[in-house]
Structure 1
Amino acid sequence: MFCRVVEEGSISQAARMGFVSQPAVTRQIRQLENIYGTSLFDRQEGKLRVTAAGKKLYPYAKEIVALHRSSLETIQEHLGEIDKTLRLGASLTIGEYLLPDLIGHFKKHHPDVQFSLSIGNTPQMLEKLEVNEIDLAFVEGVFQHDTYKSRKFAEDELILVTSYNHRWQEKKEINIQELPEEKMIWREKESGTRSIVEEALRNHGILEKIDNAMELGSMQAIKSAVEANLGTSILPRLTVKKELEFEVLREISVKDFHLVRDFWMVVKEQRFKREIQRNFEEFLITEMSN
């Protein structure tokens, strides 16, 4: 309950989430304050604020809650009573184009395991991992992972694509200095893919020269916009495999410009891990290394 009050910034909201009364929450917080011998919250200008002591307690409290949940799951798993649901979070490319097949292969050998998959950008998935909303995060791009345990499990090439009948269609490749001749269609600014592309173009000294056609939060929307000749885009090969095969989009080689981004499996440091999570992690590494 202490964690809920910290996260919601409101006793009334924490009470609603816990299906208890506000006085019940207040009593629990006061009991906790008595145990630690200090105030954990105070009110300033009508707003509830966490004290310095409360801020120090919060990460320990989160770990206590997570460890308690883990212990319950472990015993339930031992007794054969656990709901075998694995909660995954993935960035767009991995979640929509890579994980579904892998989950399907895994379930052939573990039909009783259920999956819950959340899809969003890399920061969103790491945030869900931090607050224990998911068991595993699958992300791309650069991120700070000092508090996480991460492992590369796959990689994908980023390629320049145009409409199939684009004016560059007769060229075997273009020079990177030709890129600013066309407008670029981007993912949203928080996208891991976009960060990689922008950094590479910046290193070649042409990022500032490129006009932005538009920003789109959906990979399918970007592909449709490129197909409609509204601009070019640099996209993961994994996401345009079918469009290239059926000649909807065209890959254009760029001289001396080769981008490969890594896919990372990220977990929080844990002393105890459920068997189904261990099995899926081992399966994933084995499957992607073949």
Structure 2
Amino acid sequence: MNIENLKMFCLVVDEENISQAARLSFVSQPAVTRQIHQLENFYGTLLFDRAEGKLKVTETGRMLYPYAKSITNDFHRSKEAIQQATGEYNAILRVGASLTIGEYLLPSLLGRFKKQTPKIKVTLTIKNTPSILEDLSNDVIDLALVEGIVEDNHFVVEKFADDELVLVYPSDHPWRDRIEINIEELANERMIWRESISGTRLIVENTLREYGVLDKIESYMEIGSTQAIKSAVEAGLGVSILPRLTVARELEQGFLQEMKMTGIDIKRNLWLVKKPQRFNRVGVSRFVEFIK
């Protein structure tokens, strides 16, 4: 049994393509095929179905995949543990973050972490919450920081912070002379939303639905970027409810204004998500301690 064969098998499954796995591993396509054949000979079964020119994982291949992932991950962690004990270890931390956290919170957070642990190499991937959790599931990243709802029970999920959602409006809006509004008044405004899969939008919609306002909002605009939403609000195209993290600078500089809603306080949890592991990477353990 060759650990590299198992590693290559997992990569082919993840990429669904032998050529891509070969490119990512800097080896030839025949070399990848040879490794897969060696595994198939060892287990005495086909791991991929190559019919009709398409590569599909067989039932036995799907059975092998989680074991192969666990074996290769434990093998690499064993190397890290020994290298750390002998003083030859360079820790790597692969962090994934949803858009808001990755763009507005993590840069300063990782900067402070790097000052405390300069020997740990950190990489950061920023995507929407579903994509980041998919990367975590496929071991592309070591841990995830997300603000969206995490529904997968196979993950270990811990709250590490919270963030307030605030109603923002342009400086020349009729609200400028008011201290607060009733939430029902939002039905008369042009709301600017994030895309439908956004964790922030789901939280806002649930709140508006709870107060019977969501179905009354007829005029709205959907934009897939928080920065673009801020620009649209500033230009007078509507109002929006956004994380305070994302609008703190604009509120301070007066480009946007904040309006309180009577009796309404919308907050969301920020989550640290990991896969359950028998042995955590040193970088992961250090970062989790730092976050807490």
TM over 0.5: yes
**Residues 54-96 of structure 1: CA deviation (Å, up to 9, x unaligned):** 1111111122222222222222222333333322111122222
Partner of 1:43: 50
- Structure 1, unaligned stretches of length 5 or more? 286-290
Cα distance change, pair 171–130 in 1 and its aligned pair in 2 (3 A):
same
Whole-Å separation in 2 of the counterparts to 1:123 and 1:226: 27
13 and 108 in structure 1: CA distance in 2 versus 1, 3 angstrom threshold: closer
- Once the 2 structures are TM-superposed, how far is the Cα of residue 212 of structure 1 from its aligned partner? 5.2
Aligned position for 2:165? 158
In the alignment, what sits opposite 2:156?
A: 149
Q: Distance in 2 between matches of 1:6 and 1:42?
A: 12
CA offset digits 1:202-259 (Å, max 9, x no partner): 2223223324543323222211111111111100112211222222111111123221
1:111 aligns to what? 118
Measured in 2, the distance between the counterparts of 1:70 and 1:202 equals 47
List, as ranges, runs of 4+ consecutive aligned residues in structure 1 with deviation greater than 3 Å.
Answer: none
TM-score, structure 1 length as denominator? 0.91
Identify the match of residue 200 of structure 1 among 207, 213, 229. 207
Structure 2 stretches lacking a partner, 5+ long: 1-7
Partner residue in 2 for 1:222: 229
The two structures have a TM-score, normalised by structure 2, of: 0.90
1:189 offset after TM fit, Å?
2.1
Shift of 1:142: 1.1
What are the Cα deviations for residues 133-171 of structure 1, in whole angstroms up to 9, with x where unaligned?
222210012121311111101001111110122111222
User: Which residue is 1:8 aligned to?
Assistant: 15
CA distance in 1, matches of 2:224, 2:87: 42
Count of aligned pairs: 285
- Tell me how far apart the structure 2 counterparts of residues 19 and 114 of structure 1 sit (CA, whole Å): 22
Is residue 2:33 matched to residue 1:26? yes
Q: CA RMSD in A?
A: 1.9
Give the percent of matched residue pairs that are identical in Structure 1 and Structure 2: 57
The equivalent residue for 1:140 is 147
Q: Provide closer, same or farther for how the CA distance between residues 118 and 182 of structure 1 changes in structure 2, counting only shifts above 3 A.
A: same
Tell me the distance in 2 between the aligned counterparts of 1:74 and 1:211. 58
8 Å CA contact retained: 1:213, 1:230: no
**Number of the residue aligned with 1:288:** none
Inter-partner Cα distance in structure 2 for 1:196 and 1:122 = 14
Task: Find the aligned partners of 1:20 and 1:99 in 2 and give their Cα distance.
Answer: 35
- Which has a greater percent of strand? 1
Contact 1:186–1:212 (8 Å) recurs in 2: no
